[in-house]
Amino acid sequence: MTEHEIKEIIDKYLQGKTTAQEEQLLEDFLDSYQPGNKDWNKELLGERSEKATQLFAKVQQQISPQPKRTYRIMAYWKVAAAVIFLVAISWAIRYWPQDPVTGPLLTKATGLGQKSTLVLSDGTQVRLNSGSEITYPQRFSQQNREVILEGEAFFDVKNDPGRPFIIHSTVLKTTVLGTSFNISAFPGQDQHVTVATGRVKVEAPGEVSRQEVILSPAEQAYFNRAKGNLGTKKIDLVTVLAWKEGVLQFDKVTLEQAVKVLERWYNVRITLANEALKHCVIRGKYKDENLRNVLESLKFVNEIDYQWDSTGHVTITGKGCPTQKTTPME
């Protein structure tokens, strides 16, 4: 298989749209790709094969054997290897030629409950939200500026018409020249790209060909993982970008969605006691509040309760939120 064919199949697999034949091809590919197979590497990657070998060997060292547990056809570690191969080799090698002037690839990560700001070699500023990670070259080459994001970040991109700035976030590819925008791409969740200033192009894999949208300020592209659809909508920038100012804001989101944010924000594990609680719709805004105060607020207006055990684990209880009341906004 060619590099393009591999990427297409992996894109389809991540959306759950592969046929049994395509899954078998991907499984055979992963079985056959070995660091020592130099002829195979050169056939696929040409002069980049040596670097690919090093990267894939590193991947194999980091993926420990998993229990015999099948997700559709491939074992978990093979899915992980496929995703990492797509990111680490297809993106890193293809878009970052091994030019000595670019230096090594660097990774900046924020733990749960943390946020950080970094400035890339071109002057672009990146604000990372909790539980997020960005991979980037020490110095951008003269041909391109490309990074890989997992999680959420706000980008204020330095204008450079000759070198588009591209962010790869799982299945989405976001391209800009000089603008500011927010990307939310946490594992297992729908992805969003929201533009604050300028114009942004967002691409995603499609059933037949790649989907593409152009965004203007206060517009958001959203990728539905279950349906594989890329759409757009108008958005309230203040709500989307509130996290940058240390403000925790929920605008008519489900309690299930809010819990995921709270876990990242406060580095805590939260469990919902029953399915009905997942669908409670909440609204609230909290500035520099501790978790207990946030939970007390949710308890007061949503007819729910919570328990906090000695290990720091929080369990939210209740029968649901039949009245669907909302908290007053500041």
Residue-wise pLDDT for 151-180, tens only, equals 999 999 999 988 999 999 988 999 998 899
pLDDT value of residue 70: 43
Mean residue pLDDT of the chain comes to: 78
List the single range of 28-37, 85-94, 301-310 with lowest mean pLDDT.
Answer: 85-94
Q: What is the pLDDT of residues 187-234, one digit of tens each?
A: 888 899 999 999 999 999 877 678 999 999 999 999 988 888 899 999
Is residue 231 helix, strand or coil? Answer: strand
Residues 6+ apart with CB under 8 A from 310: none
List the single range of 58-72, 125-139, 293-307 with lowest mean pLDDT.
Answer: 58-72
With 0-12 CB in 10 A as exposed, 13-18 as middle and 19+ as buried, what is 321? buried
Residues 6+ apart with CB under 8 A from 178: 157, 158, 159, 160, 161, 165, 198
C-alpha torsion sign, points 291, 295, 301, 302: positive
Q: What's the number of CA atoms in the CB half-sphere (13 Å) around residue 220?
A: 19
Residue pair 180/156 in contact by the 8 Å Cβ criterion: yes
Domain locations in the chain?
3-95, 103-239, 246-317
Residue pair 155/181 in contact by the 8 Å Cβ criterion: yes
Kindly tell me if the per-residue pLDDT of 124 is higher than 60. Answer: yes
Percent helix / strand / coil, the chain, rounded to 5: 35, 30, 35
Q: Which long-range contacts (CB under 8 A, 24 or more apart) does 38-45 make?
A: 44/1, 44/2, 44/3, 45/3, 45/89, 45/93
Rounded CA-CA distance 61/67 in Å is 17
pLDDT value of residue 58: 47
Tell the CATH topology of 246-317: Phage tail protein beta-alpha-beta fold (3.55.50)
Kindly tell me if the per-residue pLDDT of 129 is higher than 90. Answer: yes
pTM (predicted TM-score) = 0.66
- Decide yes or no: CATH 2.40.37.10 for domain 103-239: no
